[in-house]
Amino acid sequence: MKHVFITGVAGFIGSSLARTMLEQGYKVSGLDNFDTFYDPAIKRRAVGRLSENKGFKLYEGDIRHRETLDKIFSAAKPDLVIHLAARAGVRPSIEQPELYYDVNVTGTLVLLEAMRAAGIKDMLFASSSSVYGNNRKVPFSETDPVDNPISPYAATKKAGELLCYTYHHLYNFNIYCLRFFTVYGPGQRPEMAIQQFGRKISEGAPITLFGDGTTRRDYTFISDITAGIIACANNLKGYEIFNLGNSDTISLIDLVRGIEETLGRKAVIEWKPMQAGDVEITYADISKARRLLNYSPGYPVHKGLLRMFSEQGMC
């Protein structure tokens, strides 16, 4: 049985992944610092459910603290590290670039060094579709140039990919960098668009849309993401970059209409100008993941919205 160590284990993707891997028979341990980017009580509840499984162990701490990582790796001896911990969000990164660099870049470097010292050479790194910036070629392919990030968050994710390649080259690490495309589902972070829109529409509160409603996103349901991550864990060898997305897009205004239809409520919309750092479209070419991982997303947006809001008791 493979022992997996997940950083950011109490977050939306981390806790969902840990739950699925535990159900599949993996031994899972994880690290989280329960920062206040959003209500830590949400993360505590997610981890509390995981702790009901005897195959799970939680460590509290920060990926930037080398002594913490050394102690954990000495005690836990994981076979694989899945590095999800990061300071998230494009817009907040513009306001706090130094913090984002420290957590996302320095934290990744400290983690890689701790792995090297402990003799752990297998890692999956959570990157982001944001590295593509305003790439005019769609859908986005892993071979596209990604040298023009338009937010500090995107730049930190690109930097993380570069560090991962360096450790693969120098120390023969096996690392896959996974570019996630707008992940949503039950338990999504409260400030993310679908979760926020659904909550406000249910309450009759206004929602804010930036731009003219024509920006498009490739929204990916959480179970498709976890399936892709686990496929990577089972096929890890060498260094690769994979897009994990739904490979379909929907405009912002059509997303809102879909949420309205799912909830049976009309949205009150307040329009504001496009914000700095926002991209016009995200759209994943997943042909590589299909070919090498047998990755096949099963949730178009309408199906994902229904499952998400049903599981959250909203419809």
With contact defined as beta carbons under 8 Å apart, do 242 and 179 qualify? yes
pLDDT average, residue stretch 31-43: 95
From CA 279, how far away is CA 257, in angstroms rounded?
Answer: 21
Beta strands in the chain (DSSP E): 3-7, 27-32, 56-60, 80-83, 122-128, 174-180, 183-184, 206-210, 216-217, 220-221, 239-244, 250-251, 268-272
pLDDT bin (cut points 50, 70, 90) of residue 278 is confident
* Amino acid at the residue 202: S
pLDDT bin (cut points 50, 70, 90) of residue 315 is confident
With contact defined as beta carbons under 8 Å apart, do 232 and 122 qualify? no
pLDDT average, residue stretch 186-209: 96
DSSP 212: S
What sign has the CA pseudo-torsion 188, 190, 193, 197? positive
Residue ranges covered by each domain of the chain: 3-184+221-245+283-298
Please state, as a whole number, how many other Cβ atoms lie within 10 Å of the Cβ of residue 41: 9
From CA 180, how far away is CA 19, in angstroms rounded?
Answer: 19
Q: Provide the token pair at 151.
A: 């937010």
Q: pLDDT at position 276, please? A: 84
- For the annotated catalytic residues, the residue numbers are 153
Percent share of the chain, pLDDT over 70: 100
pLDDT bin (cut points 50, 70, 90) of residue 110 is very high
Give Cα 145 to chain centroid, integer Å.
21
Please state, as a whole number, how many other Cβ atoms lie within 10 Å of the Cβ of residue 221: 23
Per-residue pLDDT tens for 40-58? 999 999 999 999 999 999 9
Question: What are the two backbone dihedrals, phi and then psi, of residue 212, each rounded to the nearest 5 degrees?
Answer: -110, 10
Mean of the per-residue pLDDT values of the chain: 96
6: pLDDT strictly greater than 70: yes
Per-residue pLDDT tens for 70-106? 999 999 999 999 999 999 999 999 999 999 999 999 9
pLDDT bin (cut points 50, 70, 90) of residue 277 is confident
From CA 210, how far away is CA 79, in angstroms rounded?
Answer: 44
DSSP 72: H
Please state, as a whole number, how many other Cβ atoms lie within 10 Å of the Cβ of residue 304: 25
264: pLDDT strictly greater than 70: yes
Q: Provide the token pair at 144.
A: 């596209």
From CA 268, how far away is CA 305, in angstroms rounded?
Answer: 19
Q: pLDDT at position 263, please? A: 97
Identify the CATH number of the domain defined by range 3-184+221-245+283-298.
3.40.50.720
| Ranges of H-type helices in the chain | 12-23, 40-50, 66-76, 90-95, 97-101, 107-118, 152-171, 193-203, 222-234, 252-263, 287-293, 301-311
1: pLDDT strictly greater than 90: no
Residue 181 has, within 13 A of its CA and on its CB side, a CA count of 31
Beta strands in 37-94 (DSSP E): 56-60, 80-83
